[in-house]
Chains A and B, each alone.
Chain A
Amino acid sequence: DAMVIQNPRYQVTQFGKPVTLSCSQTLNHNVMYWYQQKSSQAPKLLFHYYDKDFNNEADTPDNFQSRRPNTSFCFLDIRSPGLGDAAMYLCATSRVRGGAGELFFGEGSRLTVL
């Protein structure tokens, strides 16, 4: 089945130790997104790619970076995780940017910062 796959599902890191989360998709969608979701909070968009065009949200901390080496893969790099970065990180795709807003989400990567 076509899907969005995130790895790892669970990541534990130490304060300040860099982390990379990965996302792959077999949907061949043009747009890939990274959301941060903290407990009992709404998902918060960090950035998205429209093909190779990177779009950063204005309030996304500089600590967060992303790479999209090809259509299928996207990475979220957290350069120096703080305790406040502990969250579920959700990757999502959409066929078009805009439209009706249908996003396809992966199962998420839960980050714990010690």
Chain B
Amino acid sequence: QKEVEQDPGPLSVPEGAIVSLNCTYSNSAFQYFMWYRQYSRKGPELLMYTYSSGNKEDGRFTAQVDKSSKYISLFIRDSQPSDSATYLCAMKDGGGSNYKLTFGKGTLLTVNP
């Protein structure tokens, strides 16, 4: 079993739709959870990060973490064509000097005008 599982999609939605992107993980030591957005032929950029279980909102984006189920989600409200990208979940344990992120494979999202 891989440490992080992410549905690769692709996911295609109409403009204005609510999008749900998900990852499951097996390592209970993970404490930091991130979502990176990667446009085609570009490097990933950090979209959101959360430390604890619960929801974190930033504009149209909401990150949700359920540690008991080892499940994280990213919701995009009122999706726009500019949201079309690959979304990578990433996580790490809480060790003070631990540098290593474990990434999911990414979900390719297309938002159609």
Contacts and interface: CB of A to CB of B under 8 A. Distances in A.
Interface of A: 4, 6, 31, 33, 40-43, 45, 48, 50, 55, 90, 92, 94, 97-98, 100-108, 110
Interface residues of B, number: 28
B34 interface: yes
Contacts of A6: 43
Nearest to A108: B43
Contacts of A105: 43-45
A5 to B, nearest CB: 11
Contacts of B92: 101
B57 to A, nearest CB: 17
A23 to B, nearest CB: 11
Nearest to A33: B99
Interface of B: 4, 8, 32, 34, 41-46, 49, 51, 88, 90-92, 95-106
Contact of B43 (A97, A98, A106): A106
17 contacts: A4-B43, A31-B99, A42-B102, A42-B104, A48-B99, A90-B44, A97-B99, A98-B95, A98-B96, A98-B97, A98-B98, A101-B34, A101-B49, A101-B92, A104-B46, A108-B41, A108-B43
A40 B101 contact: no
A41 B95 contact: no
A104 B43 CA distance: 9
Q: Closest 5 CB pairs between A and B? A: A105-B43, A42-B103, A97-B99, A98-B97, A101-B92
B101 A101 contact: yes
Nearest to B101: A101
